[in-house]
Homo-oligomer: A and B are copies of this chain.
Amino acid sequence: MPKVTSFDVARLAGVSQPTVSRALRDLPSVSPQTKERVRAAARQLAYIPHDQGRALSTRTTRRVAVVSEALTNPFYPQLLEPLRGALERNGYATVVVTDGDGDLAGEVLADGSFDGVVLTTARRGSTVARELARRAVPHVLANRVLDEPESPSVAMDNPAGGAAVGRFVATLGHRRIASIEGPDDTSTGRDRALGLRRGLREHGLRIHAGLVRQVPFDHDSGRAATRELLQRDEPPTAIVCGNDVLAFGALSAARELGVDVPGALTVVGFDDIALSSWPVINLTTVHCDLDALGRRAVDLLLAQLRGGRVAGHDVLAPTLVLRGTHGPPA
């Protein structure tokens, strides 16, 4: 592809290839006149330095991989954006590596294509982080964490958020409370569910086993689970969801079945993604500061890229945000 190389530029400018390399990077060891001649030649040939060559020579790519599940879940683009911004401000390009099945081979991440890795959707037992650690690839977990906290990580305080929701629905007066939870092998799914139970317990409440559903984090799963729950003999008066997308599914099911929200049903989400604040949705949920999370994660990664050993486990406090999908039981 790169028909024109630094040798071509050198020939045209009447200098050597190394001089071209130095001149175009504006190193001080090249005289102003030579620089100008080289720049002119490069311009004339529309020369673009070949990135592979540079990367091979410097053993640095200025690229960071962000591993995420399907981007069609709107949560991930919103996490991605702050990560991308922070990385860009520090001179790194972001490459999104989609990990559809959650069993990505670690090899792709350690073949020299990236200077570092951000894992956003690690499963609790995933070995990818361990493998990266073994190969000394700078990396950080953002959003989800592992059971064995070997790698640095940043996450929301999901247990605390879950507990806050529990206390909130209890205080509203609800007693028949359902929980639509995310997968148990994700730290977000499990921690929020555990937190919810703790919050309810503080008010002397428990979740009836029949009112618990554990499903993947997507709209249709939330919708199906909610349909089941609402068609029980004694349907719940409140449904707490493991994330916002599940809550959208709950709202969809309620709409389909003609159940009024919040009159006859309270729905609470978790994440506070952009859609949730749209008046057409107006979801009561738990706000997560993904900007802060992304910035912090990138800080931890940069520290490693600069050669330091890093082992922090940051936890950010979420906050309940009250909108239009909650109320006292009918």
Do the beta carbons of A52 and B48 come within 8 Å of each other?
no
Residue of B nearest to A115 (CB): B1
Residue of B nearest to A95 (CB): B95
Q: State the number of copies, please.
A: 2
Q: Kindly state whether residue A287 has any CB partner on chain B within 8 Å.
A: no
Given A112-B2, A279-B223, A78–B72 Cβ distance below 8 Å? yes
Do the beta carbons of B112 and A1 come within 8 Å of each other?
yes
Interface residues in A262-281 by Cβ distance below 8 A to B read: 274-275, 278-281
Do the beta carbons of B61 and A71 come within 8 Å of each other?
no
Given A81-B71, A219-B274, A280-B251, A1–B136 Cβ distance below 8 Å? yes
Q: Kindly state whether residue A178 has any CB partner on chain B within 8 Å.
A: no
Q: How far is the CB of A20 from chain B (nearest CB, A)?
A: 16
Q: Kindly state whether residue A55 has any CB partner on chain B within 8 Å.
A: yes
Complex CA distance for A2 and B223, rounded to whole angstroms: 47
Q: Kindly state whether residue A149 has any CB partner on chain B within 8 Å.
A: no
Interface size for chain A: under 10, 10 to 19, 20 to 34, or 35 or more residues? Answer: 35 or more
Residue of B nearest to A85 (CB): B100
CB-CB under 8 A from A53, the residues of chain B are 56, 112
Residue of B nearest to A51 (CB): B111
Q: How far is the CB of A236 from chain B (nearest CB, A)?
A: 18
Do the beta carbons of A84 and B61 come within 8 Å of each other?
no
Q: How far is the CB of A271 from chain B (nearest CB, A)?
A: 14
Contact of A72 among B48, B52, B110, B274 (CB under 8 A): B274
Q: Kindly state whether residue A214 has any CB partner on chain B within 8 Å.
A: no
CB-CB under 8 A from A1, the residues of chain B are 59, 110, 112, 115, 135-137
Do the beta carbons of A280 and B72 come within 8 Å of each other?
no
CB-CB under 8 A from A115, the residues of chain B are 1
CB-CB under 8 A from A134, the residues of chain B are 46
Complex CA distance for A37 and B39, rounded to whole angstroms: 51
